[in-house]
């Protein structure tokens, strides 16, 4: 067996979590990431028939039975993942009726997956249905995005269009806009299931007064989505106190959409 700590997906996740902590998006144990893996990716590194222990999931998601995921652990700090990945990460396989997971590697000190596991698995299921290439769900607490939810309407069309108006790249990177949920208790199945519903039609979800969750093919793509939302929110927060927030108008946004061949959400421009 090869050393799993040398696996490309492992090195990439370690690098990404270091960077996200450096940016201030994942303070303390804030934030979590999950990656859908194929057995062929992990079998050179671990024996898939050796189960360390079984972990309960708060709801059953039978459609994911047999699927493998690399998931950050509950209570773990992103700044420590690259220092001790076997403590902070785990590879799981969903089993039974979808309400349990077998731990195949990681969580070595008795830990478990993120408390937001219902959100992650539900989001993976909905994104797999919408785009089978989507394999990453990433949640963080980008500062300006959270700040924007304190001062801006949470209506999805309004929130999305404000971000689009802040800089040209926003509508180019997420022409479908962003989805928004009002404040809810985190780590509860309720917010997990509500989030999964949003991921049927969106790649980006804003949790008011909490953070942002995105889906993508790769860690880089998911990070790029969140990074672009955060840039738009940062510009908005820097100028909104002036009382003169204009931005790119609808006619100009339409020009951008036409120039880039974008599929903007119908009726929003």
CATH of the domain at 27: 3.40.225.10
Does residue 114 lie within any of the structural domains? yes
pLDDT value, residue 101: 98
Does residue 139 lie within any of the structural domains? yes
pLDDT value, residue 145: 98
pLDDT value, residue 209: 97
pLDDT-derived band of residue 241, with 50, 70 and 90 as boundaries?
Answer: confident
Does residue 162 lie within any of the structural domains? no
Average pLDDT of the chain, as a whole number: 96
pLDDT value, residue 118: 96
pLDDT value, residue 186: 87
* Rounded Cα distance, 141 and 24, in Å: 8
pLDDT value, residue 199: 97
Does residue 256 lie within any of the structural domains? no
Cα distances from 69 to residues 30, 100, 165, 173, in angstroms, run: 20, 13, 37, 27
Lowest mean pLDDT among 80-84, 149-153, 262-266: 262-266
Does residue 76 lie within any of the structural domains? yes
Distance of CA 242 to the CA centre of its chain: 32
Residues with catalytic function: 116
Does residue 112 lie within any of the structural domains? yes
Question: Which residues are CB-neighbours of 233 under 8 A, at least 6 positions away?
Answer: 142, 144, 145, 147, 148, 163, 166
Res. 18: pLDDT tops 90: yes
pLDDT-derived band of residue 5, with 50, 70 and 90 as boundaries?
Answer: very high
Res. 43: pLDDT tops 90: yes
Average pLDDT for 145-163: 97
| Total domain count, the chain | 1
pLDDT value, residue 187: 83
**Could you read off the pLDDT of 162-206 as tens digits, one per residue?**
999 999 999 999 999 999 999 999 888 889 999 999 999 999 999
**Could you read off the pLDDT of 207-219 as tens digits, one per residue?**
999 999 999 999 9
Does residue 249 lie within any of the structural domains? no
**Could you read off the pLDDT of 46-74 as tens digits, one per residue?**
999 999 999 999 899 999 999 999 999 99
Q: Using a cut of 0.75, tell me whether the model's pTM lies above it.
A: yes
Does residue 224 lie within any of the structural domains? yes
Cα distances from 194 to residues 61, 116, 208, in angstroms, run: 14, 12, 13
Question: Which residues are CB-neighbours of 241 under 8 A, at least 6 positions away?
Answer: none
pLDDT value, residue 129: 95
**Could you read off the pLDDT of 105-116 as tens digits, one per residue?**
999 999 999 999
Cα distances from 125 to residues 42, 64, 197, 246, in angstroms, run: 20, 7, 10, 38
Domain with 217 in it: 4-152+175-228
Structure tokens at 205: 């979800």
């Amino acid at each position: 067996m090869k050393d799993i700590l040398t696996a490309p997906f492992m090195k990439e996740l370690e690098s990404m979590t270091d960077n996200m902590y450096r940016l201030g998006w994942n303070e303390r144990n804030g934030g979590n990431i999950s990656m859908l893996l194929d057995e062929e990716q992990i079998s050179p590194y671990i024996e898939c028939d050796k189960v360390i222990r079984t972990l309960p999931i708060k709801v059953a998601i039978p459609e994911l039975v047999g699927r493998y995921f690399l998931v950050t652990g509950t209570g773990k700090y992103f700044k420590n993942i690259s220092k001790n990945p076997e403590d902070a990460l785990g590879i799981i396989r969903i089993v039974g009726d979808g309400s349990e997971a077998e731990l195949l590697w990681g969580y070595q000190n008795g830990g478990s997956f993120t408390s937001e596991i219902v959100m992650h698995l539900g989001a993976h299921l909905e994104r797999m249905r919408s785009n089978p290439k989507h394999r990453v769900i990433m949640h963080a607490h980008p500062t300006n995005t959270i700040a924007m939810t304190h001062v801006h309407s949470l209506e999805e069309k309004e929130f999305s269009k404000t971000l689009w108006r802040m800089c040209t790249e926003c509508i180019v990177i997420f022409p479908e806009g962003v989805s928004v949920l009002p404040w809810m208790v985190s780590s509860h199945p309720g917010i997990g299931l509500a989030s999964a519903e949003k991921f049927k039609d969106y790649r980006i979800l804003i949790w008011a007064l909490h953070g942002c969750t995105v889906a993508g093919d790769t860690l880089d793509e998911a990070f790029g989505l969140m990074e672009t939302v955060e840039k738009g929110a940062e510009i908005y927060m820097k100028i909104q106190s002036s009382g003169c927030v204009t931005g790119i108008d609808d006619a100009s946004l339409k020009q951008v959409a036409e120039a880039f061949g974008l599929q903007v959400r119908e009726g929003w421009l």
